Structures are given as structure tokens and as C-alpha cells.
Amino acid sequence: MGGWWSGLSLMKYNERFMPDVVAKVPKNANIIVACQKGLRSLAACELLYKAGYRNLFWLNGGLDSVEEVDLEREGPQPFKFAGIGGVSEFLGWTDAQRAAAAKKGLGYRAMLFGRLVAVVVLVDSMILGVQQLYQHMHEVQ
């Protein structure tokens, strides 16, 4: 799921990944590789290993699996929310947001439900508008 759902552009292979790493990172450096779920970072570790990097550290399960006490961070954004965006974030449908909603209680869940209702009403209004426009165009002809 990319693009509209996650708020990120659709995934594409970064042709500059290995050339940029080789140019900037020595082969004996310790490298921590992470992404939100752990799949893209595992693929990156494989590329790095094939290129001769041996001091690789991968977050199994990605940032979603990290507890705040596990790593130091800068800024207020919790690790579990670091890579989410788009419609899934707005509706609170990520694993991390569902866990947070369970802790925050009914008010937070009501807000997320309200957002879902708003999206459904908006989409329904758009469909109705297109139907009305289509009908009007046929009447004009």
C-alpha cells in the first residue's frame, strides 16, 4: 500500500542507494538500517551485505516494533508513528494508532470514528455530485 493510503509516493527502486552509500559510508562502519515494518530495511541490508558491508544492524519488525525505551530519539514524534501518513494515519488505521487508541480511551476512538464518517460522507457527496453532473450533461444534449 503506497501513495494515497500511506501518504508516501508510490514505491520505486532507488538507483542511487548503493552508489550513495559506497561514496559516503566506509565498509567497516556500523550501520543501523530501519523502516516502518522492517521489510524494506531487510532488502537494504541484503544489498549492503552483497557490497561488502558486514557491521549491519536491522530492526526486526521495523520502527513499529520499537519501544520508546529501546532507542534514543530527537523530537516529540514516537518511533511507531515515524513512517505513517496519508489516509491511514488520518483514520487511525495503523497498528500503532490502534494500540494508542486502546490506551487513550473512548474520546480518541470517537474522534477517529468521526473522521471515518466524514470521509464516507465526503466520498458519497462526490459520487452524488458526479451523478448529478452526468445527468445534467445528458439533459443539456
d(CA 97, CA 108): 10
Q: Quick one: pLDDT at residue 1?
A: 41
| Residues taking part in catalysis | 35
Q: What is the pLDDT of residues 33-78, one digit of tens each?
A: 988 888 888 989 999 999 999 999 998 888 888 888 888 888 877 7
Q: Which of 8-12, 17-21, 39-43 has the lowest mean pLDDT?
A: 8-12
Q: What is the rounded distance in angstroms from the CA atom of residue 95 to the CA atom of residue 98?
A: 5
Mean pLDDT of 18-34: 95
**How is residue 82 written as a grid cell?**
515515524
Percent residues over pLDDT 90 in the chain? 33
pLDDT, tens digit, 9 for 90 and up, residues 113-131: 898 899 889 989 999 999 9
Where residue 78 falls (left for φ over 0; alpha for ψ -120 to 50; beta otherwise) is beta
Cα separation values, 115 from 2, 72, 90, 103, Å: 20, 33, 7, 19
For residues 17 and 47, is the Cβ–Cβ distance under 8 A?
yes
Q: How far is CA 26 from CA 4, 10, 51, 68, 76, in A?
A: 37, 30, 11, 29, 31
pLDDT in the model for residue 56:
97
Q: Is the pLDDT of residue 87 over 80?
A: no
pLDDT of residue 28: 96
User: What pLDDT does 22 receive?
Assistant: 95
Q: Report if pTM > 0.85.
A: no
In angstroms and rounded to an integer, the radius of gyration of the C-alpha atoms of the chain is 22
Tell me the pLDDT of the chain averaged across its residues: 83
The yes-or-no verdict on residue 30 having pLDDT over 90 is yes
